[in-house]
Structure 1
Amino acid sequence: MNRNLKLLLYASAIFILYFYYGILQERITRTQYGENKEKFIYSLALVFFQCIVNAFYAKMMLQFVLQQGEDTTKRSYYATSALTYLLAMVSSNMALQWVPYPTQVVGKSCKPIPVMIMGVIIGRKVYSLKKYLFIGLIVMGVVLFIYKDQQATTAAAAEVSGPGLGELLLLLSLIMDGLTGAVQERMISEHKTKSGYMMLNMNAWSIGYVAFALLVTGEIFAFWAFVQRFPFVLYNMLVFSVCSALGQFFIFLMVSDFGPLPCSITTTTRKFFTVLGSVLIFGNALTIRQWVGTAVVFAGLTLDAVYGKASLKTAKPVVK
């Protein structure tokens, strides 16, 4: 398949699957269950469920569909990348206890920056100045679009903001994102790690980490009691996890074939298009700032598509 067409296919699949994934996530976590209006607060259990479905899906793909040869990747790479990936998710979710959602989204929109920084420090990648400028434009546009005016959220922010703890958790999450990308760069450059093996092994390690956390925190028992009261939530979790598995498969395909930076750009701009789609579907008006953000994002994407390829081709890893 043509390389450009393949990149477009991967990006489109990630956009569509994670759009529905986001809808299901909100349905699961925002629904008020039963007469007592209980909320789903079992994030570790949800991640555990996801990892099991992801690992099973990857195993089936490797067994019956993919022909990816022998995997020579070090187990330490899988263990490290799985741990940093989980820490990034947990830190990001925990930050919402102390910062409002717009702040969390804005912080996570800067994900390509630590991926590039850690790629240079640990992955020994080299990027041109043009690449940095194009990525900066995309991030700037996303921030302009999705960041809400603080006047509208002052009261809510005052209630949830702590003494900088939320911001520190977001910083930790970004650092973990960067470390994950750097380790994946090393896996690809040193072992030519394929997408199926990457997905299977990272989720297998994640299952072990989350299972330990579920037992230590006791969340598994509270979750089981919740499911007994509201068994239909398992169906939503299953569909949610299938979307996650399919989406993650395309993410690992993109990481394996194009590297973690294009993947982080895709997942970051996916948030932008998800918000834009929500605006169009529900008829919400865009502010001038949001239209400017839209123009900046498309400018960054266009410039990167036209001029960024040379930057990626010249960004060759130096392995000792």
Structure 2
Amino acid sequence: MAESPVPDTDLWNDFTSSWIGSLSVNLLCYSTVFIPGYFLIKYFKNSNFLDRAGSSIVSRSVVACVYGHGYDKIAAEEGSTTKSATSKSSSNNFLQLVFCFVGLQISYLTWGVLQEKIMTKEYQNSEGSIGHFKDSQFLVFINRILAFVLAALYLALTRQPRHTAPIYKYSYCSFSNIMSSWCQYEALKYVSFPTQVLAKASKIIPTMIMGKIVSKKKYEYFEYVTAVFISIGMTMFLLGSTEAKSGTGNTTTVSGVIILAGYMTFDAFTSNWQGELFSQHKMSSVQMMCGVNLFSCLFTITSLMQQRSLGASLGFMMTYPTFFWDCLILSICSATGQLFIYHTIAVFGPVVFIIIMTIRQGLAILLSCILYSHPVTIVGVLGILLVFAALFLRVYCNHRLKQLQQRRATGDTAKV
């Protein structure tokens, strides 16, 4: 008698264990949130719900999610004035600058080291059992849940400008944000951490392209020149990396490059979409942080539960206590790092922040090479130096251009 057919679970496991399979399943799970949400928003807008909305909690929630609230100009101006005053009073405070510099370096250097350890190293418990964690999406979730809690607590305890943006608009940059984070973790299975850091430094190029597409931005000639230098430096590093030459094959290299390209594309969209939201709705940075992380938690927890991988990841965490502490510290560093980013930009401006983070990228490569013994040739080192030289040149030219524009504006005002 013939046996009844049994589902080929091994085939499914092989498919989901590959980055293409994992990505496909994740996107399918996210669509179970996106598609119903899209039709609900379309329904409320087409039914003129705003005209008949009452004062109940449900009605107010629908209005906030779909329509947003009218912009309170006075509240925004008060927030803007306070921010400016804080910036002026704190810009000359050396201790404040040291605090921001040290906070960003500790948060993101520790986060980078743990990120590489979790995705590339094996864990061993007291019983001698050995395991290798592979679920990048779970790491995205635990980072976002703590960031959301911290942002929500900050909003509850402090006075903020009136929030005017429809909440659903955060979902777009939230999706691109979790996808860029997923690519960031997943790429470490195929390329070294120094390669990933240099790819992050090179994200200026897709950011410029996405800026033209999303915001119709125009760029100065020096921005194109430095982008070319960054591309050349990145190519030199990849060609001069001995790990690339002695890797596991062309498939691994190609997979790593594709995932890094995905990371840069999603990350570029995230920053440009957030910039559009800031300019249109004037929300505070912490409001942005809370909204984005809210949807990130919703997307990732839905996907993890649908794939039944949440229990497996929590089980791995209980089996290997070292992994639990690594995840906890990773989440704390990610959340506090976001707060340091917003604080540094608010007090010292984006130029100082970019310089600090560029230094952090250089230190991250050095630290990774020391801790995990990544070999780099002379050509690779020259490529690294070219990338960071181009970054500092870009920051300097940007700063000089703004100074010239301010002088011209002052001169024109004096003539009048």
- TM-score by structure 1 length? 0.79
- Per-residue deviation, residues 120-159 of structure 1 (Å, max 9, x unmatched): 2212333211233345445655665x54635544342417
Q: Indicate how the Cα distance of structure 1 residues 263 and 21 shifts in structure 2: closer, same or farther if over 3 A, else same.
A: same
User: Larger Rg: 1 or 2?
Assistant: 2
Q: Is the 8 A contact 2:123 2:323 kept in 1?
A: no
What per-residue deviation string (whole Å, max 9, x for no partner) do you get for residues 225-247 of structure 1? 22332244323222221111011
Which SS does the other structure have where 2:124 is aligned? coil
| TM-aligned CA distance change 1:8 to 1:78, over 3 Å | farther
CA deviation after TM superposition for structure 1 residue 92, in Å: 3.8
Q: Give the alignment of 1:205-284 within 5 angstroms.
A: 205-253=295-343, 267=357, 270-278=360-368
Match of 1:161 among 252, 274, 280: 252
CA contact (8 A) 1:141 1:296 kept: yes
**Residue in 2 that maps onto 1:123:** 215
* C-alpha displacement of 1:208: 0.2
Unaligned runs of 5+ in 1: 315-320
Aligned length: 310
Q: Cα offset for 1:181?
A: 1.4
Retained in 2: the 8 A contact 1:193–1:256?
Answer: no
Aligned with 1:87 (options 166, 170, 179): 179
- Note the aligned Cα RMSD (angstroms): 3.7
1:317 aligns with none
What is the percent sequence identity of the aligned residues? 26
> Partners of 1:32 and 1:309 in 2: how far apart?
46
Question: Can you list the C-alpha shifts for 1:218-271, whole angstroms capped at 9, x where unaligned?
Answer: 111211222332244323222221111011223345677899898778656633
Indicate if the aligned counterparts of 1:130 and 1:311 stay in contact, CA closer than 8 A: no
AA of the residue aligned to 2:331: S
**Is residue 127–residue 312 contact of structure 1 (8 Å, CA) maintained in 2?**
no
Q: Which residue of 2 aligns with 1:318?
A: none
Q: Which residue of 2 aligns with 1:186?
A: 276
From the superposition, tell whether residues 201 and 14 of structure 1 become closer, same or farther in structure 2 (CA, over 3 Å).
Answer: same
Going from structure 1 to structure 2, the CA distance change for 1:183 and 1:86 (only over 3 Å counts) comes to same
Gaps of 5+ in 2: 1-86, 406-416
Q: Aligned-pair distance for 1:23?
A: 2.1
One-letter identity of the residue aligned with 1:81: C
- Give the 3-state SS of the residue equivalent to 1:156 in structure 2: coil
Task: Tell me the secondary structure at the aligned position of residue 247 of structure 2.
Answer: helix
Partner of 2:30: none
1:61 correspondence with 2:154: yes
Query: 1:118, 1:182 within 8 Å by CA — same for their partners in 2?
Result: yes
Residues 220, 281 of structure 1: CA spacing in aligned structure 2 closer, same or farther, 3 A cutoff? closer
8 A Cα contact 2:108 2:334, kept in partner? yes
- Three-state SS of the structure 2 residue aligned to 1:41 is coil
Further displaced range: 210-219 or 185-194 = 185-194
1:230 and 1:86 mapped to 2: Cα distance?
25
- When structure 1 is superposed on structure 2, of 132-141 and 19-28 the one drifting more is 132-141
- Corresponding residue for residue 240 of structure 2: 149
TM-score (norm 2): 0.63
